[in-house]
Amino acid sequence: MGGRVAVLVSGGGTNLQALLDDPQVAPHIALVLSDRPHVRALDRAAARDVAVEVVEVDPHPDRDTYTEAVRDVLLTHGIDTVVLAGFMRVLSAGFFDAFPGRVLNVHPALLPAFPGAHAVRDALAWGVKVTGVTVHLVDEQVDHGPIVLQEAIEVRDDDDWDSLELRVHALEHRLLPAAVRALLQGRLVVDGRAVRITGEEP
């Protein structure tokens, strides 16, 4: 099981914490990078002696130059695997060329339903009876890449945003570490849009 993992964050970092608490994943987390300073996720990283970097958007004139800055920081740290865990920036296509097949994202809906930044709210507004969580490999399109893991949860009649998000988060905290473990263990087989997880966990 190999790899140097960077976790990209923008906020509180509960998914980061789930990764830090996974005994198979945590030793591989070499960097936590945020687009914003002073977020809770950076404190979580520092508490585990994980290196942190902040690359803010404002100094960069466009998405491509911001993407290059993030990529360069990761490569300086020797990163080969990237996990987007609540990272609220869209990166340009060139980023993924640097980490081919090694970028994972967790999304709080059953893709391709409800892509974008407000998936829990959108699911409630649509009146769906089920939603869920998707962990997928990332490509140049937003919330689009091949699906690694996906699981549904019921939307209850009395759910509001807070109650539904709580259950979504709990599912994220289980699925994301599982997907990262499978990637690090070389157990992902990608055939077009189809992803299989092979073998048993060591």
The residue with tokens 């994972």 is 104
Which one from 38, 60, 107, 173 is the annotated catalytic residue? 107
Specify whether 107 is catalytic: yes
Q: Read off the tokens for 58.
A: 């404002």
Secondary structure of residue 123 in the 3-state scheme: helix
The Cα–Cα gap between 177 and 26 comes to: 10
25/45 Cα distance (integer angstroms): 14
Strand pairing category for 147-154 and 130-137: antiparallel
Q: Return d(Cα 181, Cα 187) in angstroms, integer.
A: 9
Active site residues: 107
